[in-house]
């Protein structure tokens, strides 16, 4: 890159054209490459998937009504066990189903 003699604001049109000629070149954004491998395609596909990873058949939102005191107890026990409210309730339902079946 040439060192300019004077400020751009003091140059003539011809001098400006010469001083900025290097910026007129086309920019190649992505160099030519090769096709992705199967593992790379799978990694890319997984990265494009949004949301939480599917567990089992996936999750469904369920709205239930629960007494506030009971919900506070659920939250307290879940927190003490290091799990979320949803995880605690799901585990409790699984245990109950195992006993019933």
Q: Quote the number of domains for the chain.
A: 1
- Residues 20 and 23: their CA atoms lie apart, in Å, by 6
Pick from 31, 34, 1: nearest CA to 18: 1
pLDDT tens per residue, range 43-74: 988 888 877 777 788 788 899 999 999 999 99
Question: Is 54 within a domain?
Answer: no
Question: Is 26 within a domain?
Answer: no
Residue 1: which pLDDT band, with cuts at 50, 70 and 90? low
Question: Is 48 within a domain?
Answer: no
pLDDT at 2: 58
What lies within 8 Å, CB to CB, of 85 at 6+ separation is 74, 75, 78
Range of the domain at 77: 65-101
What lies within 8 Å, CB to CB, of 4 at 6+ separation is 19
Of 101 and 100, the structure prediction assigns the larger pLDDT to: 100
pLDDT at 47: 85
Of 95 and 47, the structure prediction assigns the larger pLDDT to: 95
């Amino acid at each position: 890159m040439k060192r300019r003699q004077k400020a751009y604001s003091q140059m003539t049109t011809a001098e400006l054209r010469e001083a900025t000629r290097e910026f007129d070149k086309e920019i190649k954004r992505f160099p030519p490459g090769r096709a992705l491998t199967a593992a790379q395609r799978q990694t890319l596909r997984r990265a494009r998937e949004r949301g939480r990873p599917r567990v089992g058949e996936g999750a469904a939102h369920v709205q239930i009504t629960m007494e506030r005191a009971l919900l506070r107890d659920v939250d307290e026990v879940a927190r003490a066990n290091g799990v979320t409210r949803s995880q605690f309730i799901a585990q409790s339902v699984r245990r109950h189903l195992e006993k019933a079946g």
